[in-house]
Amino acid sequence: MLRLAARAASALAVASALALTATTPALADPLVLPAATDIVGVGTGVTETLFTQFSTDYNAFLAASGDTTSARLFSWDSAGTPSQVITKAGATPIIRPDRTSAALSALNATTRSTLDFVRTTRVPNANDLPGDLFVAFAKDAVSWAAPAGGNAPQNLTTSDLSNIYNCRVTNWKQIDSALPDATIVPVLAGHLSVDRSGVTGAPMESSEFLLKAINYPPAGTDGPSDRSCVRVVERGEQGWDALLHDPNAIVPYSVGHYVGQVYGGHSRPGDDPVTLTVRGIDGIASVNTADRRISPPFANTSYGRWLFNVVRQADWSNTSTTNALHQVFGTTGWICRNPTAAAAIKSYGFLTLPVGACGSTRHA
């Protein structure tokens, strides 16, 4: 009863707090303020709708089993209003992180009284703190998308993509003489600047991944060539920007997120491919349209990627919190072993990991 009363009070508190700073609520943020002991995360937009579903399903699972004491699971979207959010009862307000790097900074600048995990689409790198523990849970892939009925072909090679984003190839006829005589419009998503030396700034995860996959040289390291042909949109995994309606536009795209949007029915305003369709690379289709999922041969190329949740190593190992985190994210936890979680992963377009791989951990 005390927990239920606390949640009712929390709901009133968050409503009051948000009313002071917002006019429009985010699309799928928690409907009540999570309790101080709940498991709360932020991070990449690629898996945020899946985690909204996880939250609903996991909390219902606990309720159905009569469990009124275990920590509930909640996830905040990467975009929306207010821009400053109170993530749980008693938390320090934070600016809503819109990508992995910003979310990790928030995780490392706070304690579990504010955040417990970060959604991410990338493996650890040398810039991550040793205390950031990456816990695997599913698999995705990154390809490129273009408007249906536009001038882009169904397949580009890695070399084609490198030449396009480095502005060495600027016309479709340079790819194939049978293609239209039209200027290619390469697009990236993120907080980016572009000039003759190339792209700088903070790309969204799928754009960052594709640039690494095609060995895009850092700005200023590719000699005197002009690499200013790249255009920029703020958000990834969407086709709403007018720039992406150009029949010659191409943009990096999470294949799993696309499958969830198109085949799983998990799209919403601003989170919808609109006319974009995901294409193949190096002769391998990215989507198995018959099975309505990521093509396993494509996922097994260098364009495949694992999906993780990042927790603090200290929280993961702490006996006062380990049960709550492991109960959700561990190798025998709900995400890795519950059939409802597996169904959600597939419905939202991603591939499940084998037993033992799901819930496995790694450091920078």
Beta bridge partners of 305: 140
Of the candidates 287, 303, 260, the one whose C-alpha atom is nearest the C-alpha of residue 121 is: 303
Contact, 167 vs 228, CB < 8 A? yes
> How far is Cα 47 from Cα 61, in angstroms, rounded to an integer?
20
Domains annotated for the chain, with CATH where assigned, are: 2-138+308-362 (3.40.190.10), 141-299 (3.40.190.10)
Phi, psi at 292, each rounded to 5°: 55, 55
Residue type, 259: V
Closest CA relative to residue 138, chosen from 361, 364, 359, 363: 359
For the chain, 364 residues long, give each residue's pLDDT as a single digit of tens.
Answer: 334 333 433 333 333 333 333 323 335 899 999 999 999 999 999 999 999 999 999 999 999 999 999 999 999 999 999 999 999 999 999 999 999 999 999 999 999 999 999 999 999 999 999 999 999 999 999 999 999 999 999 999 999 999 999 999 999 999 999 999 999 999 999 999 999 999 999 999 999 999 999 999 999 887 778 999 999 999 999 999 999 999 999 999 999 999 999 999 999 999 999 999 999 999 999 999 999 999 999 999 999 999 999 999 999 998 777 789 999 999 999 999 999 999 999 999 999 999 999 999 999 8
Q: For the whole prediction, is pTM greater than 0.85?
A: yes
> Do the beta carbons of residue 19 and residue 314 sit within 8 Å?
no
- Provide the pLDDT for residue 228: 97
pLDDT at res. 24: 32
Supply angle C-alpha 140, 193, 214, rounded to 5. Answer: 40
pLDDT of residue 120: 98
58: alpha, beta or left, given left = phi > 0 and alpha = psi -120 to 50? alpha
| C-beta of residue 93 within 8 angstroms of C-beta of residue 86 | yes
Distance between CA 210 and CA 305 in Å, rounded? 11
Q: Tell me what pLDDT residue 52 has.
A: 97
Residue 234 tokens read as 């703020």
- Long-range contacts, 212-221 (Cβ 8 Å, 24+): 213/142, 213/158, 213/302, 213/303, 214/158, 214/161, 214/162, 214/165, 215/162, 216/162, 216/165, 216/166, 217/166, 219/195
pLDDT of residue 6: 39
